[in-house]
Amino acid sequence: MEAIDPNHISSISSIVRRAILDCLATNQPSPTSASEPQQIFASPEAAALKQEMVRAGRKLWERQYVDGNGGNISVRISPRYVLCTPTLCSKGDLCVEDISLVDLDNDQICGDRPQTSEILLHLEIYKAVPSARAVIHCHPPYATAHAVAGVVPQGNLVPEQEVFIGPVALAPYETPGTRAFAQTVLPYVKDHNTILLANHGIVCWADTVTHAEWYVEVVDTYCKTVMIASQLAPRLNEIPPDKIADLLAIKKKLGLPDPRLPIGDAMDAVDIPAHPPAESSQAASNAKRPANYEVDQLVRRVTSEVLVFLQQTQ
């Protein structure tokens, strides 16, 4: 079986998107995505997301960002449902069969293994930030060292950090697994995609699991770099303000959150999904044009089904 050229995947995705948007524009009935949790859990889209979670878990473990059964990964597959890793599982050993489905009320709907005890933290983030599609919590040593010391790393030192993460927030300590712990991030989570958790670790959110894992790598490498640089010189050279403005302009185009950007700027800049409709208003919203969130979901699902078909016929 030959691998499909990534350029072809992008082309297929564009064609699917155009077809769906044309369909919506002419009020033709559009294909409907699965709505029952069991259907969602068994869908090709869920299969692809579970594979992505397994890959991210392996990377986290190989980079020593998760210790023992530490760390957890989740992805929001629909406005109400979230795929998540199980409790008591090394992310280096994670399999697609280990992943379960929970709703936003923290009820496990599907999956054989009990959900992670930290899912409350993930759910609070999904409820507070509609554009958050994936959340990773873990214990990377350099970022966790800052969280233990209560030290927020100095900013404006490395372009990648400024563009993808920016100022890092520090949430106060609470007992892991509790609702109080989950809610410690709420004051910060709209303006920051990466938060240090005092005496514990970090949490990152992004549009995909892969990108959330990238942010973990970026922030831990940044914390390590700042620690080493601080041993070389008592005062670190910051990037000049006008050059930081250039980086913020890039960040705005990428649609990433930053407390230095005016409220709403980052989210308006790109095709960030609209606020997922609340379950109670689902019927009302069905009568209108679907939100970008639903179109994105449909594009991913149809594209993955096309890819499975192509792979089977090659």
Interface ranges with Zn ion (CB under 5 A): 201
Least distance in Å: CB of 250 to Zn ion? 31
Least distance in Å: CB of 19 to Zn ion? 43
Smaller CB distance to Zn ion: residue 138 or 261?
Answer: 138
Catalytic residue among 45, 118, 162, 174: 118
Smaller CB distance to Zn ion: residue 197 or 256?
Answer: 197
Cα 211 to Cα 103, 214, 217: the distances in Å are: 23, 5, 10
Least distance in Å: CB of 36 to Zn ion? 32
- The runs of H, that is alpha helices, within the chain are 6-25, 37-41, 44-62, 119-128, 141-149, 159-164, 179-183, 209-232, 241-254, 265-269, 282-286, 292-313
Smaller CB distance to Zn ion: residue 64 or 311?
Answer: 64
Backbone angles phi, psi at 226, to 5 degrees: -65, -40
In the complex, residue closest to Zn ion by CB:
201
Smaller CB distance to Zn ion: residue 15 or 145?
Answer: 145
DSSP annotation of 113:
S
**Contact, 72 vs 122, CB < 8 A?**
yes
Least distance in Å: CB of 226 to Zn ion? 22
Smaller CB distance to Zn ion: residue 181 or 214?
Answer: 181
Question: How do the residues of the chain divide into helix, strand and coil, expressed in percent and rounded to 5?
Answer: 50, 10, 40
**Contact, 121 vs 106, CB < 8 A?**
no
160 is an active site residue: no
Least distance in Å: CB of 298 to Zn ion? 34
Cβ contacts of residue 213 below 8 Å, gap of 6+?
56, 59, 60, 136
**Contact, 200 vs 258, CB < 8 A?**
no
DSSP annotation of 110:
E
Q: Which residues form the catalytic set?
A: 118
